[in-house]
Every structure is written in C-alpha cells, then in structure tokens.
Amino acid sequence: MLSIRRILWPTDFSKGADRAFPHAAALASWHEAELHVLNVTEERSGGASADDVPIPESTLSELLSVDGDPPPHVDLNALTLVQEQREHESPPEAIVGYAEEQAIDLIVAGTRGRRGLQRLLIGSVAEEVLRTAPCPVLTVRGEGDDAPAWAVRNILVPVDFSDASLEALRHAKELALTYGAQITLLHAVEEVIYPSAYGVEPANLPGAQVIERVEESLADLARTEIGYEHVTVEAKIGYAPSTILDYAETNEVDLFAIATHGRTGLERMLLGSVAERVLRRAPAPVFTVKSFGKSLLPASDDS
C-alpha cells in the first residue's frame, strides 16, 4: 500500500473541486490519512460568507454523493479533517506552499476541463499546481464519465521504458491493490518519417514483429514490477498522446497513472509533452507522479 499520511484537497467550491472530494475522502479513509481542506481567496470581502472554511459536515456529506452514492466505506466522523482558509494573490503558490509546509503526500484537485474543445484545458490553477507540486497529484475533471471514487477497475499506465514511467508503474501497482483494480500497460510505437528534403530513404514502418517484441518487453516488465495476474499489455503504432487517449476512449479506463519528465531548477517546471496532452484531455482521473518529486512507495519498494 502507498505510504500516504496527509492528503490535500484544495477547493474553490467549483464543480471540479466538488467532484474531487469523494476521491480525496476515499483515499484518506483507506490509508487512515489526515485530510486537509484548503480554500485560497485572492481577495477577502468584508464579512464571512457561507462558503468559508470550515465547511460544515453536512456539506461534506453532500459532496460525497456528488456523483451518486457515497463511498460505502467512508465515515466522515472517523476522518481526521484539517481545514484552513488563506488569502494569497496566487492560489497555485498558496496550494503548493501549504503542501510543502504540511508535508502533504498527495494533492487531490479538481480541474476545469470542458467538452467540445479541440484542446481541453485543465485550468491554470490545476496546471500550475501540477508543474510545481512537491508530491504526486490526482486530478479529477469537473465534467467527465469517470467511475465513482471507490469503483476504479482498470488503471492505464503509459510506459515509455524510462525511469520516470517505471516509477509511475510502481505507484500504479499499489493503487491497483488499494482499489482492487487491474492494470493495463500501454506503449506507443511512433513512426519515424523524414521529409523528402532530407534526402533520406523512408524508414521501415514498425510492423507486427516490432509490436510483438514490445509487448514481450511489457510482459517482462509486468512480471518483474507487478508480479500478479491482473495485468494486460498493449503496444500500438501511433503518436503517443493520441494513442493513449484513443485507447482510453475505446476501452474502460477508470484511472490513468502517468509520469512527468520535468526537471528541477527551472522557473517553469515542464510536465513533458505526452503527460501534458494526456492530462488536458483524459476522460478519467489522472494520478501524476513527478520525476523529481516525493515517492509514495513503501520503503522496501522505493528506489
């Protein structure tokens, strides 16, 4: 099981934040973790409002049922809740600062994606938190067809055989044990086509033999890193972000586990082009593991 002691649920009382709450509460219950509730206001108007923290238990109970029945195992009275409201000109900075101060292990945040747009945005606050958070982040879309927080049955892990994607896979293994889910490992074999101006003969396009070899490598990875039978492997030809998203659209995917390839020391920490495109259009929640961030793996598995 993942080592999670403190979970942060930042809320601006939007639909996206509301839909993220059952996921945060379910994970806090499973891991017996503290659940931190943070509301950041850019500007405080005179007098208190109905939305001020602390949020009444009755409201939190309603949020548990935002997508239907509440998680059957979550008892709000048994959770350790820490609620705080802060003023800050930059909500992302406040959220990340709070996560650093409180040694948060996981941030569960709502996004503001919309259907019907060619480029679905996850919202500036969520995106900046993803770029700079010191720990993994679980993002939940404000609108989507994702499964209830406790009913994750298939976790999709895009694998490019990098160290970062292996770290995401190891986290996915523990998430699968938590949810009782199966894992699908997916690798996109991208075509290499040179413009004619290069004066280079077209490269041989990957065929059945390449797909077979890649799936054998994925199967070996599944055996060594996961070691149980509830794993499927897929290799497909195509541009990685499109391949991942197309697979999710045509198969039942309840959760993505993906790695970023950012680097420390940059003013604007990069998520990596594949992770960024998947995060913006994923039809289900995305568990993002930072290449340079905190690991939630049990001590014996942490590398």
- pLDDT exceeds 80 at position 98: yes
- pLDDT exceeds 50 at position 7: yes
Domains of the chain: total: 2
Contacts of 50 by beta carbon, 8 Å cutoff, 6+ apart: none
Same domain, 99 and 221: no
pLDDT of residue 81: 95
Segment (H or E) for 92:
helix 91-101
* CA 269/CA 8 separation, integer angstroms: 21
Same domain, 168 and 64: no
In total, the chain counts a number of residues equal to 303
Same domain, 127 and 182: no
Strand-pair category, 286-289 with 137-141: antiparallel
**Contact in structure between 264 and 148 (CB atoms under 8 Å):** no
- Of 135, 150, 165, which one is at a domain's C-terminal end? 150
Contacts of 208 by beta carbon, 8 Å cutoff, 6+ apart: none
Domain residues for the domain of 192 are 152-303
Q: What is the DSSP string of 138-163?
A: EEEESS--PPPTT---EEEEE--SSH
* CA 53/CA 81 separation, integer angstroms: 12
pLDDT of residue 243: 93
Q: What is the pLDDT of residues 49-83, one digit of tens each?
A: 545 678 998 899 999 887 667 777 889 999 999 99
Same domain, 60 and 172: no
- Of 150, 172, 205, which one is at a domain's C-terminal end? 150
**Which of 288, 259, 241, 278 has its CA nearest to residue 164?**
259
- Of 150, 181, 198, which one is at a domain's C-terminal end? 150
Same domain, 60 and 169: no
Q: What are the tokens at 9?
A: 């649920």
* CA 45/CA 153 separation, integer angstroms: 44
Same domain, 105 and 240: no
Q: What is the CATH number of the domain that holds 86?
A: 3.40.50.620
Same domain, 203 and 242: yes
Q: What is the pLDDT of residues 250-298, one digit of tens each?
A: 999 999 999 887 444 443 444 567 888 888 888 899 999 987 778 999 8
Same domain, 284 and 178: yes
Same domain, 196 and 261: yes
Q: Which residues pair with 81 in a beta bridge?
A: 35
